[in-house]
Amino acid sequence: MNLFEVYASAPLQLAGILGGLIGAVAAVWLAQTIPGEMELEEKPRPTWWWIGAIIVGGVYGWLLANALDSWALLPAFLVFAAATLGLALIDLDHHLIPNRVLFPSTGAVSALFVVGALGAGQGGDLLRAVIAAFAYFGFLLIVAVVARGGFGMGDVKLAFLLGLATGFRSWSAFAVSVVLAIMLGGVASIFLLLFGKKGRKAKFAYGPYLVLGAWVAIVWGQRIADWYLGSAS
């Protein structure tokens, strides 16, 4: 099965790869620099870990180019990918989603979405994106308060940015993002509980799974939703 029904032009694919690589380099720099500025304990990682993150960024940039097939929208989603990759890397090591990265990233992505939407003639999608952002934020806030654990306020604030990007794509992408994040994080937390050395005392970083769910949904959310609805009918 093809990854996409229609592939973007070669120049746009190349732009996606280069943009993804550049964004991933920035994400790795953030993941290595910000914790030090915050005087957090250093978490040494082997070189291959950072190289792998950069490769992931390049591959995802290529996927974004083909999924969007839009010069106007690609910059916003590339910046989104770079920011969320950096946040996921920091969260994996420090169980923290720093506001000094999250807030400027949310502002930059929001501005780029406005510019991209107007350039692509998709201004109407902005309202859906904003509604989805507040919906995801509100949902995780309620879960964090009721469950008293699992999700931290960093995850809740991150959900706003993720809802903005997935909601801009479609309601299907937004819904798939939420479901995938819960499923992936749930499986990972159970695995950690059963096989982790610290058992119930182990800290769990949920941010990377929120990001992964959004990344998949942005590229294939509509196809996943169509497959599920088709198989359920």
Q: Same domain, yes or no, for 88 and 44?
A: yes
Q: Same domain, yes or no, for 11 and 106?
A: yes
- d(C-alpha 123, C-alpha 116), whole Å: 9
Number of domains in the chain: 2
Q: Same domain, yes or no, for 229 and 128?
A: yes
If you average pLDDT over residues 92-119, what whole number do you get? 95
Q: Same domain, yes or no, for 53 and 37?
A: yes
Q: Same domain, yes or no, for 220 and 148?
A: yes
Residue 221 phi, psi dihedral angles, 5° rounding: -55, -45
Residue 93 phi, psi dihedral angles, 5° rounding: -90, -35
Q: Same domain, yes or no, for 88 and 147?
A: no
Q: What is the DSSP code (8-state) at residue 200? A: G
- d(C-alpha 162, C-alpha 174), whole Å: 9
- d(C-alpha 218, C-alpha 167), whole Å: 9
- pLDDT over 90 (residue 116): yes
18 domain residue, yes or no: yes
1 domain residue, yes or no: no
Q: Same domain, yes or no, for 65 and 133?
A: no
pLDDT tens-digit readout, 9-50: 999 999 999 999 999 999 999 999 999 888 787 778 999 999
**Residue ending a domain, choose from 88, 122, 156:** 122
**Residue ending a domain, choose from 122, 142, 158:** 122
Average pLDDT, the chain: 92
| Cα angle value 209/134/87 (rounded, 5°) | 35
- pLDDT above 90 coverage of the chain, percent: 76
- d(C-alpha 186, C-alpha 197), whole Å: 18
pLDDT tens-digit readout, 118-160: 999 998 899 999 999 999 999 999 998 887 766 889 999 999 9
Q: Same domain, yes or no, for 58 and 95?
A: yes
214 domain residue, yes or no: yes
2 domain residue, yes or no: no
| Amino acid (one-letter) located at 113 | F
Alpha helices for 121-170 (secondary structure H): 125-147, 153-169
Which are the contacts of 66, defined by CB distance < 8 A and separation ≥ 6? Answer: 3, 4, 7, 8, 13, 16
Specify burial of residue 208 (Cβ count, 10 A radius: 0-12, 13-18, 19+).
buried
Q: Same domain, yes or no, for 145 and 167?
A: yes
Q: Same domain, yes or no, for 20 and 115?
A: yes
Q: Same domain, yes or no, for 165 and 210?
A: yes
**Residue ending a domain, choose from 102, 122, 142:** 122
* Domain with 93 in it: 7-122
| pLDDT, position 227 | 87
Neighbours of 103 (CB within 10 A): 12
The pTM of this model reads 0.94
CA nearest to 155, candidates 70, 199, 214:
214
| pLDDT, position 61 | 98
Q: Same domain, yes or no, for 129 and 226?
A: yes
| pLDDT, position 149 | 65
